[in-house]
Amino acid sequence: MIEEGTTAPDFELETETGETVRLSDFRGKPVILYFYPRDNTPGCTKEACDIRDAWSKFERRGVVVLGISPDDPASHTRFKTKYQLPFTLLADTEHDVAKLYGTWRPKRMAGKSFLGIIRSTFLIDAEGKVVKVWPKVDPAKHANGCSPSCQSRAPRRLSSTLLVRMRGLEPPRAEAHTDLKPCASTNSATSARNSILAAAQRSDNSSDPSVSQPIELQRPARSS
């Protein structure tokens, strides 16, 4: 698996719309690159919904989020539309990028061995360096509160933990998100998201301590 402190390998993949993008297209912005096994499975849906529900926090910090799985663009389109995901999904159908980052590895389930995606997340800074790695992410065990659109008896408010770790942000007002597709039922949300946001903030501060204004998120121009 790619280690912290190394340069993130560049790659080229198709988005859910069929547009081809490269990791280097986003140079100058921090990037969250997260690998997940499959669209529309419970754990992957929970993980995607958790990022969706905290999207304003990522957007304020100018963080680009790229989700990668072996699913094809058509599957990504259905997944993204169903749960109204605001970030880009990339189709790694041949597992080339997963192999490059060390997330395509042997797994065991029900006594059988097979190759598959190890759920992992990488934070890449504006210069293209890997500054944080979260290997073997388990969304069911990274809990601290509940995202607003998840069906749960837990408090319906995003964790205040990320707010005290992010400089210059005021606590957001609670939002109902009644128009969003609920993610899988759970009694807790993923605190890994909070760690990602905190690490993104530290990376942003280390590159330019004077920056306090949010960076406007921009997608690369569509190829003609």
Instruction: Report the candidate in 183, 195, 187, 190 with the shortest Cα–Cα distance to residue 142.
Output: 190
From the list 44, 49, 146, 183, the catalytic residue is: 44
Residues in CB range of 31: below 8 A, 6 or more apart = 8, 23, 63, 64, 65, 66, 123, 124
Cβ(134)–Cβ(195) below 8 Å: yes
Q: Cα separations (Å) of 151 from 50, 146, 147?
A: 12, 9, 9
The one-character DSSP state at 29 is: S
Whether the CB-CB separation of 48 and 85 falls below 8 Å is answered with: yes
Distance CA 48, CA 56 (A): 14
Say whether 44 is catalytic. yes
For the annotated catalytic residues, the residue numbers are: 44
